[in-house]
Structure 1
Amino acid sequence: MEIIPGLPDDISRECLLRVSLTSHYKLACVCKTWKEIVYNPIFYQDRKRFGLSQELIILPCWGGKTKKGCRIKLYDPLERSCETLPPFPPEFPYFSGCFNCVPFNHKLFVMGLLSDSPEFTNHKALIIYDFSSGTWNRGLDLPDCRVDFCCSVDSAKGLLYIAGGCNSDEDEDYDDGLRTAAVYDVEEEKWEYLPPMIWSEYKCHSVFTDDKFYVMSHVEGHIQAYDPNTRQWSAISTCYEGSMQPSFAAFGRIYYDCDGEIIEWDYVDNQFRLAGTLVPQLYRFIGGVMWNQQILMVGFNTENAMAFYLFEPSIPREGGKEDNWTLISTLSATELPDPVATIGALTFSG
């Protein structure tokens, strides 16, 4: 059967590859042949191979003070287009600002949701959005209940790491945080506890890079790294004290915001340096991501619009804080009426 009647299959397939990521589930509804194409992982590999994959920014939004009507929005800074994923399953009408999500392959993993249903334990459920089918599916619950934790993915091995946080919003020992960490095997759908961390952490941030899981402190100014090969944690000293988040990896370095200064850490040589300072217009910094082979910084400006800046790491020139920042796009409060949970910026490539 021809993919598209009257066209050679190679051209027909390229036409399907060019369809927007958020419309792939519509392709799967057309016919059995299209469904088989979209559901095949090779489809997404070909999108990347031919330079057709989209780099989108994930924006989790909630519906005001009630936290109902939660949505995940995907924003393209170049096209200035914003699309909304289907609503969460009805069992999960809420999420707290403490939830977490991470993309892997053509799926989005969301954790830390609040539920009205007695079937689910709050802050423990894992749900997964599949871009191929356009549906949310239930994953295996987290091994324990936690909020304000960090989460990163080892894309090469399909492993999802979580660490730190606290047991609930009402946890009496909230300030102490948790030392527990765990890893989720996406293919086998199995959680496994890791050895306890060196320090307890909450509201921490993390990066998986260089085959290690790095957890960045919220207030103490330290880093701890987990090596999956040795199953051991190691402590890393820094020369900067203060909050170390949000953090992200780019070009063989880890970057993080330390009280308005962008610190670049060469984790191979364990060298730290000042790479820039936040522009005055960016009064609330959400995070940075690798986007189209560049560093994209995301935050809110003084007019309460979401702003997207390209950032070029360099030693800031004296008296010129904006030399390495280039504004490329903004989303006004009118264009993005729902409050955005400040969990850090994420990119989705698919």
Structure 2
Amino acid sequence: MELIPNLPEEIGRECLLRVSYKAHSKLKAVCRNWESMVSSPGFYHDRKISGTSEQCIGLIQAFVQGKSMKDKGHRAPSYGLSVYDPIQGAWDRLPSIPLFPSGVPLFCHCVSVNQKLVLIGGWHPSKWEAMRSVFVYDFSFGSWRQGADMPTLRSFFACSVSPDGRVCVAGGHDDCKNALRASEAYNVEEDQWEILPPMSQERDECQGVYLDAKFYVISGYTTESQGRFERSAEVFDPSTGSWSRLENMWSVGGCPRACVVCRGNLYFFQKQGVMQYNSKENIWGVVDSVPDSVSVAMCATVWRNKIFVSGTVCNGGDQASYMFDPNIKEEESSRRWIAVNRPQYFSGFVQSAVTVEI
């Protein structure tokens, strides 16, 4: 049976490859041929190879409250999962998790694996209790499924995705605020967790990135040193299955929340400026200033060799977002920062951001 009547098979396939991800779940309902094609991993591989895939930014973002709700002043914000398409300038909101119709778990981590967004951990939206839960949103189905729980109950932990698609987590703290050394890895496709060796020390509020095919767990603090961030980092090498310690890696100090890797370079965004890490010298250097409107409570993610940065001018202030291009020369710095238009409905605080290719 032809994919599209009166069209050669390859032309029909090319047509379907160009359909926006928003309609993929509807494509499956047309006929079995279309359902089989869209459900196959080869469909998204071919979209990527042919240049028809869509790279969007997923954001854990506070719902915008009405004025009457703001005036009450006592209601904690709820968060949903927004999707921003920088090419189209379009914003969208993903459907709620069936178990949590009022919002995603607070402080959960969000990562991208293949054409899926994975939410890990966080706090129960109404009970404010730490959770082990994993939820996976599959763009090909347009729906959520619940994954296997994390083996270790943890909050404010390091989290990043390996080149082979494993989600690695480490550190954080348990429900008694004890900092953790434990680390684990999650295989999204097989829905299985693997226990990894523990780090050399406990690290709460650490940051995870993959750099040079290794899992870096940056800074954090111990149970006894609440809020005093370590200068060291730990590096997990999947090829040896072991950790190594990197002293004085975090010389910039403070919370390492807004760290991202772009084109093999590690960047950190803070009020004092954009910092770039030199792994050979184990030092950081300032490469640019940061716009005042995003200088507080920043988060960042890489999109097509640029870096999407979101933040505010002060705690509780208006939110703003920019696209930062580290490839533009310093003398043309005025072109490095391009403001992103955010409609009022999507103007809420951005807790975290991640890029997903669909």
If the length of structure 1 is used for normalisation, what is the TM-score? 0.85
Over 3 Å counting, the alpha-carbon distance change for 1:167 and 1:242 in structure 2 is: same
Aligned to 1:207: 209
Alpha carbons 2:181, 2:203 under 8 Å: kept: yes
Distance 1:84 1:5, change over 3 A: same
User: Kindly tell me: are residues 162 and 87 of structure 1, through their superposed partners in 2, closer, same or farther at Cα, counting changes over 3 Å?
Assistant: same
How far does the alpha carbon of each residue in 1:71-119 deviate from its partner, in whole angstroms, 9 at most, with x for none? 211101232201111211135644443211111011111112555999x
Which residue does 1:140 correspond to in 2?
148
RMSD: 2.8
Give the stretch that moved more between structures: 252-261 or 73-82.
252-261
User: Which structure features the higher share of strand residues?
Assistant: 1
State which drifts further: 265-274 or 222-231: 265-274
Matches within 5 A, 1:1-350: 1-63=1-63, 65=75, 67-68=77-78, 70-90=79-99, 93-115=102-124, 122-155=130-163, 157-168=164-175, 171-173=176-178, 177-218=179-220, 219-236=229-246, 237-238=248-249, 240-243=251-254, 244-267=256-279, 270-300=282-312, 304-312=318-326, 323=334, 325-332=336-343, 334-336=344-346, 339-342=348-351, 344-350=352-358
Amino acid at match of 2:53: S
- Partner Cα distance (1:92, 1:336) in 2: 18
Q: CA deviation at 1:241?
A: 3.3
Structure 1 unmatched runs, 5+? none
Cα gap change, 1:250 to 1:122, in 2 (>3 Å): same
Aligned residue-pair number: 335
3-state SS of paired residue (2:107): strand
Percent identity, aligned pairs only, is: 29
Q: Distance in 1 between matches of 2:148 and 2:17?
A: 31
Deviations 1:287-313 (A, max 9, x none): 333212333333335772432222326
Give 1:166's aligned amino acid. Answer: H
The aligned amino acid for 1:7 is: L
Distance 2:336 2:210 in 1: 25
Q: Which runs of 5+ in 2 are unaligned?
A: 66-74, 221-228
1-side partners of 2:250 and 2:147: how far apart?
40
The residue type paired with residue 260 of structure 2 is F
What is the rounded CA distance, in whole Å, between the counterparts of 2:121 and 2:134 in structure 1? 7
| TM-score, with structure 2 as normaliser | 0.84
**Structure 1: 4+ residue segments shifted above 4 A:** 91-94, 113-118, 313-317
